[in-house]
Amino acid sequence: MQRAIALVDCNNFYVSCERLFQPKLEGKPVVVLSNNDGCVVSCSREIKELGIKIGTPWFQLRDIARQYGIVSFSSNYTLYADLSNRVMSLLSQFSPDQEVYSIDESFLDLTGIPGRHGDYGQQIRVTIRRCVGIPVCIGIAPSKTLAKLANHIAKKQTMYRGVCNFNAMVAAELDSLLSGIEVGEVWGIGRRITSRLKMMGIHTVLDLKRAPAKRIRAEFGVVTERTAAELNGECCLELEGVTSPRQQIICSRSFGSLLSSLSDLEQAVIAYVSRAAEKLRSERSVAGGIQVYIRTNPHRERDPQYRQSILMALSSPTDNTRLLCHAALTGLRQIYRTGFSYQKAGVMLTEILPASARPRSLFDDIDAQQRSASLMSTLDRINRRMGSGTMQLLGEGLRKDWAMKRGSLSQRCTTEWGELPSVQALVECRNGKRHE
DNA sequence: TCTGGGGTCCTAGGACCC
DNA sequence: TCTGGGGTCCTAGGACCC
């Protein structure tokens, strides 16, 4: 039986989330910005039509934004994560085998599901739109890589009405579609490989599909070889149903303004370690090492530049925020240099293993460990219930001059009682939808 | 003035061993 | 003068993804 893998991808996901509660923004140019309102990370169709690309620094768009009345939002991850969960949970009802690939994408295995998969795809679209309000497009194909491309076409070519099924096409039709797509659009073919492929005369997806496997292997390695095989309909990448525990947890951020004092950096590092440790405990894991790094702003070429990182081993793997902070601060003091303006710091938890597999030592202080575990779980419970950051280490500081800028943040409409939309706003939402 | 954050996998090369 | 071959493990860095 032919494999049928569907890729469901939300359209301009962050922008769609914002529009959901402000339907008057339908048809208007809207962008969502990264942390610190730095770069564009999601943009509406109207923005793409203006030639603006994802990743463009926002300050470079100030003039054009005024000219075209662009509406901008700071990123509201609480809102996006909640709406994503709703989409994913609905999608899980359409297939026994789902891989949630990212916040706005999910693979579904449709192999063996009876009926025409194109119709099934339309049914999925309508359901997501009606129940959550987010528009999605769907690509269906025998491999994940081809499903990605089918999705790309479903988004670009309106004649497919949001669902493109490669499995329903004859070979010549498919090849003609593939010959019209640049090779850089392929999942797994990034900027570097694209330019090297082009030097070899491989420009389109069809060119890569037809390239000799041995040559691709020799030039680019096993990963790209697999990608090419997937283009030929060979399914090399299986769906990964259960998410395996992470191997590293990173928390890093640029500061709202440049920092130079060690004490400011210490506050930020304590805050980042706290976030990372919270994630670690939520996965019931412990970490054996913690890496800290700091850097100046590489874009300010005239300023003296410095970047350094250090990996600290822990005497025994732990999930305790205070122990992790102690290691991180020891490291930070070793790499800190005076005379620089720092723009960013980060911490990375490594050597992660399940808490149940933590090695025991003869010298473990069982009492102290139990007290620490109970302190941490109380901390997490309070912050889950009362909101993140309700209870924190004093070392994070209270003023947080370094905290990131989020100038145009929307409400957390679906997760905070205090930020629920008013009845009137909801009526406006509904009326807005009717006009579509 | 202002340029994000969080991940994974693979490979090359060095250290070390027999 | 001529200096092997094969294996493992670790780390840093590159490339990719959203």
C-beta separation of A207 from A183 below 8 A: yes
Nucleotides of C under 7 A from a protein CB: 12, 14-18
Name A residues 260-279 whose Cβ lies under 7 Å from strand B: 275, 279
* DSSP secondary structure string for all residues of A62-128: HHHHHHHT-EEEE--HHHHHHHHHHHHHHHGGG-S-EEEEETTEEEEE-TT--S-HHHHHHHHHHHH
- Residue A101 CB lies within 7 Å of the nucleic strand C: yes
- Residue whose C-alpha is closest to residue A113's, from A5, A201, A216, A220: A5
> Would the CA dihedral through A229, A232, A234, A239 be positive or negative?
positive
- Residue A223 CB lies within 7 Å of the nucleic strand B: yes
C-beta separation of A140 from A167 below 8 A: yes
C-beta separation of A154 from A138 below 8 A: yes
* DSSP secondary structure string for all residues of A210-223: HS-HHHHHHHH-HH
Residues A241-258 as b or e (16 or more Cβ within 10 Å = b): eeeeeeeebebbbbbbeb
Nearest nucleotide (CA of A9 to C1'): C18
| Cα-based angle A270, A274, A279 (whole degrees, multiple of 5) | 150
Q: Measure, in angstroms, how far nucleotide B5 C1' is from residue A100 CA.
A: 19
Nucleotides of B under 7 A from a protein CB: 1-12
Length of chain A: 436
**Tokens at A84, concatenated:** 């994503």
pLDDT in tens, A158-206: 999 999 999 999 999 999 999 999 999 999 999 999 999 999 999 999 9
pTM listed for this prediction: 0.92
Query: What is the pLDDT, as a whole number, of residue A146?
Result: 97
> CA-to-CA distance for A302 and A298, rounded, in angstroms?
9
C-beta separation of A411 from A425 below 8 A: no
C-beta separation of A251 from A276 below 8 A: yes
Burial class (CB in 10 A: 0-12, 13-18, 19+), A415: middle
Query: What is the pLDDT, as a whole number, of residue A56?
Result: 93
C-beta separation of A208 from A189 below 8 A: yes
- Residue A289 CB lies within 7 Å of the nucleic strand C: no
In sequence order, which residues have a C-beta less than 8 Å from that of residue A403 and are 6 or more positions away?
A: A255, A256
Question: Which parts of chain A have pLDDT scores under 50?
Answer: 436
> CA-to-CA distance for A121 and A61, rounded, in angstroms?
37
Query: What is the pLDDT, as a whole number, of residue A433?
Result: 59
State what percent of residues in chain A have pLDDT above 90.
71
State the Rg of chain A over Cα: 25
Could you tell me the CA-to-CA distances from A170 to A129, A166, A173, A235, A435 in Å, in that order?
30, 8, 5, 18, 39
In sequence order, which residues have a C-beta less than 8 Å from that of residue A331 and are 6 or more positions away?
A: A290, A291, A292, A310, A311, A312
A105-109 and A249-259 strand pairing? unpaired
Measuring alpha carbon to C1', the residue closest to nucleotide B10 is A223
In sequence order, which residues have a C-beta less than 8 Å from that of residue A106 and are 6 or more positions away?
A: A7, A8, A87, A88, A91, A98, A99, A100
Question: Could you give phi then psi for residue A189, rounded to 5 degrees?
Answer: -105, 105
Nearest nucleotide (CA of A303 to C1'): B1
Query: What is the pLDDT, as a whole number, of residue A282?
Result: 92
Name beta bridge partners: A349: A249, A290
> CA-to-CA distance for A56 and A65, rounded, in angstroms?
12
> CA-to-CA distance for A411 and A79, rounded, in angstroms?
8
C-beta separation of A109 from A95 below 8 A: yes
